């Protein structure tokens, strides 16, 4: 997600700094962006010169200190509240401009809780992109009880005018708009497979061919990452305490086994890994 967000910013003409956990991860991030741009060139979506210009606008680092002069920082670390809180507490001390906006790409965690780790909760907002970021046009802008109207307007304007995305706004509730509707559907498909009612292939074919969905629910869960689906489900269940949000045992076991979907080569389906 972080590489995708960086790519769309660079393609939109924004000078962008990408911070990874270490130098090895930073090089890998650059390689991911370069490969994605190459694919876009191959599909005729981007001119070769424009792709190179975008890559040239990106700086890759492993030091948060290199974000000190940024006007907008978008966090996209693992979907773990402790990890995200640690990042925002550090950014609050590093980012110099008190008017700069701190944004989280969280799928489901409370924006206000993350913002309270800083001294600028009014400049904290949810900016939730969808995977793959260069392809999908939607961004959710999520406002907490502290988020100022100016912050909301500035981030919405950046997403629409600069990045060319479509914005939907959501209050700060677990799952926001899309995942609050999507995840119970994915979990229902997991329960159907878990019960032996139908195979993963038949469940996906049923929704693709019977309901004209571009991707079946289990293949979509694999694309999102089963660990991410489980994390979102846990956040939804913690907030609403409704059984439809509870992650099924099969999903939990697959996460424990490291069968996370496309990124590991195996989930409900198997995949070739590059």
Q: How far apart are CA 254 and CA 14, in angstroms?
A: 39
178: Cβ contacts below 8 Å, ≥ 6 apart: 128, 130, 138, 140, 168
- The single residue of 36, 107, 144, 156 carrying the catalytic annotation is 107
Closest CA to 155 of 196, 194, 111: 111
To which H or E segment does residue 167 belong? strand 166-171
Write the CA distances from 196 to 5, 182, 189, 201, 264, integer angstroms: 38, 22, 11, 12, 24
Q: How far apart are CA 122 and CA 135, in angstroms?
A: 30
Contact 271, 222 (CB under 8 A): yes
Which pair of structure tokens corresponds to residue 166?
């479509």
- The single residue of 36, 105, 144, 179 carrying the catalytic annotation is 179
The answer to whether 131 is a known catalytic residue is: no
Q: How far apart are CA 11 and CA 55, in angstroms?
A: 8
- The single residue of 36, 75, 108, 128 carrying the catalytic annotation is 128
Alpha-carbon torsion (97, 103, 104, 108), positive or negative: positive
CA 129 to mean position of chain CA atoms: 5
Q: Burial of 47 by CB count in 10 Å (0-12 exposed, 13-18 middle, 19+ buried)?
A: exposed
The answer to whether 47 is a known catalytic residue is: no
- The single residue of 20, 75, 79, 140 carrying the catalytic annotation is 140
- Residues designated as active site: 107, 128, 140, 179
């Amino acid at each position: 997600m972080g590489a995708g967000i960086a790519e769309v910013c660079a393609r939109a003409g924004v000078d962008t700094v990408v911070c990874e956990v270490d130098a090895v991860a930073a090089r890998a991030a650059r390689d991911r962006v370069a490969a994605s741009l190459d694919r876009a060139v191959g599909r005729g979506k981007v001119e070769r010169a424009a792709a190179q210009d975008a890559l040239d606008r990106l700086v890759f680092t492993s030091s948060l200190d290199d974000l000190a002069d940024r006007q907008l920082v978008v966090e996209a670390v693992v979907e773990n509240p402790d990890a995200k809180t640690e990042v925002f507490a550090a950014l609050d001390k590093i980012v110099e401009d008190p008017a700069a906006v701190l944004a989280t790409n969280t799928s489901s965690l409370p924006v206000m809780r993350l913002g309270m780790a800083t001294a600028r909760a009014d400049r904290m907002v949810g900016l939730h992109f969808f995977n793959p970021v260069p392809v999908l046009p939607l961004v959710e802008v999520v406002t907490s009880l502290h988020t100022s109207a100016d912050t909301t307007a500035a981030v919405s304007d950046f997403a629409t005018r600069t990045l060319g995305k479509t914005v939907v706004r959501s209050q700060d509730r677990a799952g926001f708009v899309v995942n609050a509707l999507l995840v119970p559907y994915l979990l229902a498909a997991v329960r159907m497979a878990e019960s032996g009612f139908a195979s993963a292939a038949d469940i996906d074919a049923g929704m693709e061919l019977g309901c004209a969905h571009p991707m079946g629910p289990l293949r979509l869960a694999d694309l999102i990452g089963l660990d991410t689906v489980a994390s979102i489900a846990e956040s939804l269940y913690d907030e609403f305490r409704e059984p439809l949000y509870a992650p099924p045992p099969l999903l939990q076991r697959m996460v424990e086994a490291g069968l996370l979907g496309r990124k590991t080569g195996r989930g409900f389906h198997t995949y070739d890994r590059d």
